[in-house]
Structure 1
Amino acid sequence: MTDEVASGDPAGGLPSPADAPPPPAERASTADWLAVGAGALGAMMATLDISIVNSSLPTIQGEIGASGTEGTWIATAYLVAEIVIIPLSGWLERVFGLRTFLLIAASLFIAFSMLCGFSHTLPMMIVGRVGQGFTGGALIPTAMTIVATRLPRSQQPVGNAMFGCTVILGPVTGPVLGGWLTENISWHYAFFINLPVGMALITLLLVAMPHQRPKFDLVAQADWFGIFGLAMALGGLTVVLEEGEREQWFSSSVICWLAAMSVIGMAFVAIGQIRATRPVIRLALLRDPQFSAVVIMGIAVGMVIYGTSYVIPQFLSTIAGYNSLQSGEIVLLSGIPSLLMMPFTPLMVRRIPIRVSVTIGMAILAFSAWLETGITPLSAGGDFAHSQLLRGVGTIMTMMFLNQAAIRSVPPEQASDAAGLYNAARNLGGSFALAGIAVIQDQRVWLHSRRMEESLSANSVMVQDYMAQQSQALGGTATALQSLGRTIQIQALTMTYIDLFWILAVGVVCVSPLILLLRPLPQGGKPVAAH
């Protein structure tokens, strides 16, 4: 062999490294994209059902004989169960295999949706909603796992954008879809709609996902301390937060037992972290400052997304007199920016520095909540239009990059653990928001009512003149007093909603400094994992 040939000289007939064509870019197959689509559809169905009952809640409560207090469990039962199952999804996926696990989850989700649709009592509805939460919660982190394992790094921004948009659109389209079905057909179809969607999901899973042999030997090796601990800790904590105010906190034996159960559950989780070879939830991931920051900011964003999608319909229904469909249409406004920005999100992830995007997004989220602190008892849906559109922009600029940072903060083999922990944190934020709303609403409505009543002295000439005019107009003193009571209640409730929006705005601002812990993603070119 000549020196020229050995050295790779072109004259020797072999191309030099400089002249050699670059290797072809790794591309996902059609089956890979169908799998990603199946994951996104499952996540969309699961997140949609979190809020689909929000605008039709008064109608459902009336038909199944539930009070306003009991009716909140129709919304929160789903979140409680979902929060428990999401961190367990990684382990269940390894036991059954991804396709089998998703097929079981999708099939049971359809069954529990039918149970909700046929419900005629509150216990029946709650059982159905808990079942929906357990099975639907499994569909969310597995979507991120599919993106991490089926797509090459260069195409993951597209897959993450698909997943992120479904997570964003689900909570905002839920109220309008549920409202439309309630007003035009029946609230039952807010659950029956999952039948055709679920069948489409099952078809995609059968076509696109390869069968994997189950590993039932993992059951014996499972982190049972962690499994039972998570169920006890997260379930007990959520119920304590939800029911604590109504049960007078620790003066109630039920709350005391649930709080003790939560503490014991946390201890079990800690034991599992030490003893298990592979803990059911890998809390060690939180040692990474970036991942910890992403989780905390995910909680805050979850509070804004789920909190506002619950509060706004309630305000429009109780104060402005909107029906279910009208309330849902206002909530849907925040989804318009998501639809418009969706085609550009992969490019945004590649080109915009993560700190810049998340900073802008968090600032917009805080500003949108602050705008809503100016509402009055005369406010209507149009008064929420600008804040809702801004919230949509802020959410997509924040969530797209947080999803990307969460999935890239860990090696691919730990993607399912990271996805479960991150999604559980985001939904835990939603649970905190709903529980906090119940607590704050009870306290602040009472406080604002008492303060207004104390300011209205019976000896005041102005009050006496007002009551005289109202008595004459309404036909009696008793009717005038009832009218005054309703006015005070409406004012107190409006002031309480203002308090809630203030808290959401301040909460976002408080976690914003964590943006400094985010590591920059590569600009342009092929993204790399951030370990």
Structure 2
Amino acid sequence: MSSPAASPGTGQTSGQTSGRKADASAWLAVAAGTLGALMATLDISIVNSSLPTIQGEIGASGTEGTWIATAYLVAEIIIIPLSSWLEKLLGLRTLLLAAAGLFTLFSVMCGLSTTLPMMIVGRIGQGFTGGALIPTAMTIIATRLPREQQPVGNALFGATAILGPVLGPVLGGWLTENVSWHYSFFLNVPVGIALITLLLVAVPYERPKVELLAEADWLGILGMALGLGGLTVVLEEGEREQWFSSPDIRWLAVVSLLGFILLAIGQWRARHPVIQLRLLRDRQFGSVALMAMAVGVALYGTAYVIPQFLAGIAGYNSLQSGVIVLLSGVPMILMMPFTPLLMRTVDIRLAVGVGLLLLAASAFMETDLSPLSYGGSFVASQLMRGIGTVLAMLFLNQAAIRSVPASQAGDAAGIYSAARNLGGSLALASIAVIQDQRLWLHSRRLEESISANAELVQSSMATQAHLLGGPDIAIRLLGSTIQMQALTMTYADLFWLLGVAILCITPLVLFLRPLPTNAAPVAAH
């Protein structure tokens, strides 16, 4: 069915008539896209809880084991922006079938891994194939649902984007403690089979456009892989490798810079760049991308800091910590029936602004942590964070595609998803740097505040030595107390900085335009 060109900046097209309802095939396609996105986002974090167990069984050190998580993220962030071009090249059905089938096979490979290289190859394969499943879910919603039903589809996709990262650690922790860590990967087999079945039934076949290979932006494709891949590794591993004192980090930084130069040349010279970065010049879409990055910072940053605090201070195991993180998903479940109505009736600027302010407020609520804080201390802030994430992410999902011409909806989905994941990488890298620096600072300040000659200090140490059986034990206990206090203060600093970062990005809501209330659904082709 032919459709008129969209007016720039609106994303409007008459691809489907107003008032037309989606048929069962369309909803099955949406279900397939949502299931694929959930499978891909879940596997980002499902191994986090079981990493120590996996490392022990495959003979990997702590430093080597981090690549089990990093390899997936690096591969995913490379492929996400390329998914629109791959969709045009192969056709949506062929791309999704290949991605779902290979993702399932790579999951089996991870579950059967007995060595670190085998596991890393499997995780890279999962990242490349799973990354293609995320933005294409948004494309299915944009192309298969009429305008009045797209909010329902966006609500379903938003639920996967939010629940996947927070559900992963809980599910992975439960499987590791009650069954085996292998089933964190084998779980994808029945899900993959169900996804492939839905795709075969609901998504029509499209002829591959092999002629696109001849005019492909190969410089841009290479630049995208080198630039984003190198940058993600630098951000993930920089603090652990002492940044630019490490030759590996220096080389990766050079590779990343070279990649972005090649990408820029491709943008300038290619007739059809692999990804339309010029979309970022639109104030609406540029603002959406930056705010998506801020939501990624909040989502991934808190999902990392809270379990670290609960494990290091409150003595929680990985499953108990994961349950606290999962609390932020409760508002999504409760609000899901109402989100389509919200997207139809509430101004995007109000919704996203309130969402970002709630995210900031939830971070500031956690700045008064003490060594006596426990999981219950995070309940109110986690519920508030869940509401804020729902309001911000669901409306930004809709705006990401609505704010660009219809023919570029796929590019918009890729950039938007990559921005959110890049925000997560920036958050984790920044947290690693700040945590080391602030922990050292607070430890030194606490030590300086304790005078060895003070009468109160000497009396306390004498009492502790008498009770514990010697001055050495008393000194070690004092050191542990200082370290715990310093670590608590460090986590409070991290939450404060997360709140400030979100507040700084919030004024961008003023650049947003109201979503069109009577626009036809956008199309990715």
Q: TM-score, normalised by structure 2?
A: 0.92
The Cα shift of 1:357 comes to 0.7
The Cα shift of 1:529 comes to 6.6
Supply the AA of the counterpart residue of 2:251: W
Partner of 1:382 in structure 2?
376
The Cα shift of 1:30 comes to 1.0
The Cα shift of 1:463 comes to 2.8
For 2:91 and 2:433, the matched residues in 1 are separated by 41
Determine which of 78, 83, 88 is the counterpart of 1:89.
Answer: 83
For 2:395 and 2:420, the matched residues in 1 are separated by 14
RMSD of the TM alignment (CA)?
1.9
Partner of 2:229 in structure 1?
235
Partner of 1:438 in structure 2?
432
The Cα shift of 1:413 comes to 1.8
Partner of 1:425 in structure 2?
419
Equivalent residues in 2 for 1:207-286, closer than 5 Å: 207-286=201-280
Supply the AA of the counterpart residue of 2:456: M
The Cα shift of 1:526 comes to 5.8
Contact conserved, 1:296 with 1:511, CA < 8 A, in 2? yes
Equivalent residues in 2 for 1:107-122, closer than 5 Å: 107-122=101-116
Determine which of 19, 24, 34 is the counterpart of 1:30.
Answer: 24
The Cα shift of 1:351 comes to 0.4
For 1:211 and 1:529, the matched residues in 2 are separated by 20
What's the secondary structure of 1:237's corresponding residue?
helix
For 2:438 and 2:225, the matched residues in 1 are separated by 32
For 2:147 and 2:509, the matched residues in 1 are separated by 23
Partner of 1:151 in structure 2?
145
1:216–1:522 Cα change, 3 Å: closer
CA deviation vs aligned residue, 1:235-290 (integer Å, no higher than 9, x gap)? 11112222222333222222221111111111101011011111111001112100
Equivalent residues in 2 for 1:325-344, closer than 5 Å: 325-344=319-338
The Cα shift of 1:226 comes to 0.7
For 2:97 and 2:237, the matched residues in 1 are separated by 34
The Cα shift of 1:68 comes to 4.2
The Cα shift of 1:298 comes to 0.1
For 2:185 and 2:448, the matched residues in 1 are separated by 46
CA deviation vs aligned residue, 1:396-425 (integer Å, no higher than 9, x gap)? 011111011111012222111110011000
The Cα shift of 1:493 comes to 1.9
The Cα shift of 1:117 comes to 2.1
The Cα shift of 1:65 comes to 4.3
1:472 and 2:441 are equivalent in the alignment: no
What's the secondary structure of 1:373's corresponding residue?
coil
CA deviation vs aligned residue, 1:94-116 (integer Å, no higher than 9, x gap)? 11111111111111111222222
Contact conserved, 1:175 with 1:309, CA < 8 A, in 2? no
1:353 and 2:339 are equivalent in the alignment: no
Partner of 2:11 in structure 1?
none
Contact conserved, 1:55 with 1:313, CA < 8 A, in 2? no
Partner of 1:50 in structure 2?
44
1:29–1:414 Cα change, 3 Å: same
Supply the AA of the counterpart residue of 1:444: R
Equivalent residues in 2 for 1:448-487, closer than 5 Å: 448-487=442-481
The Cα shift of 1:338 comes to 0.1
For 1:496 and 1:429, the matched residues in 2 are separated by 21
Contact conserved, 2:150 with 2:521, CA < 8 A, in 1? no
CA deviation vs aligned residue, 1:196-218 (integer Å, no higher than 9, x gap)? 11111111111111111212221
Partner of 2:12 in structure 1?
none
For 1:188 and 1:490, the matched residues in 2 are separated by 34
Contact conserved, 1:87 with 1:420, CA < 8 A, in 2? yes
Higher-Rg member (1/2): 1
The Cα shift of 1:457 comes to 3.2
For 2:362 and 2:448, the matched residues in 1 are separated by 33
- Percent identity, aligned pairs only? 70
What 5-or-longer segments of structure 2 have no aligned partner? 1-16
1:491 and 2:485 are equivalent in the alignment: yes
What's the secondary structure of 2:365's corresponding residue?
helix
1:413 and 2:407 are equivalent in the alignment: yes
What's the secondary structure of 1:55's corresponding residue?
coil
Partner of 1:9 in structure 2?
none
Determine which of 141, 164, 173 is the counterpart of 2:135.
Answer: 141
Partner of 1:308 in structure 2?
302
CA deviation vs aligned residue, 1:164-197 (integer Å, no higher than 9, x gap)? 1111111121121112112211222112111111
For 2:475 and 2:71, the matched residues in 1 are separated by 38
Partner of 2:512 in structure 1?
518
The Cα shift of 1:453 comes to 2.5
1:526–1:223 Cα change, 3 Å: closer
Contact conserved, 1:333 with 1:389, CA < 8 A, in 2? yes
Determine which of 25, 36, 60 is the counterpart of 2:54.
Answer: 60
1:37–1:483 Cα change, 3 Å: same
Determine which of 387, 390, 397 is the counterpart of 1:396.
Answer: 390
Supply the AA of the counterpart residue of 1:106: A
Partner of 2:173 in structure 1?
179
CA deviation vs aligned residue, 1:47-67 (integer Å, no higher than 9, x gap)? 111122233334334444444
The Cα shift of 1:438 comes to 1.8
What's the secondary structure of 2:367's corresponding residue?
helix
The Cα shift of 1:128 comes to 2.3
Contact conserved, 1:148 with 1:412, CA < 8 A, in 2? no
The Cα shift of 1:156 comes to 1.4
Partner of 1:14 in structure 2?
none
CA deviation vs aligned residue, 1:337-380 (integer Å, no higher than 9, x gap)? 00011011111000011111111111100000111111112111
CA deviation vs aligned residue, 1:304-331 (integer Å, no higher than 9, x gap)? 1111112211221222111222111111
For 1:97 and 1:278, the matched residues in 2 are separated by 17
Contact conserved, 2:327 with 2:382, CA < 8 A, in 1? yes
Q: TM-score, normalised by structure 1?
A: 0.91
What's the secondary structure of 1:374's corresponding residue?
coil
Contact conserved, 1:160 with 1:404, CA < 8 A, in 2? yes
Contact conserved, 1:61 with 1:71, CA < 8 A, in 2? yes
Supply the AA of the counterpart residue of 1:100: T
For 1:127 and 1:455, the matched residues in 2 are separated by 50
Partner of 1:291 in structure 2?
285
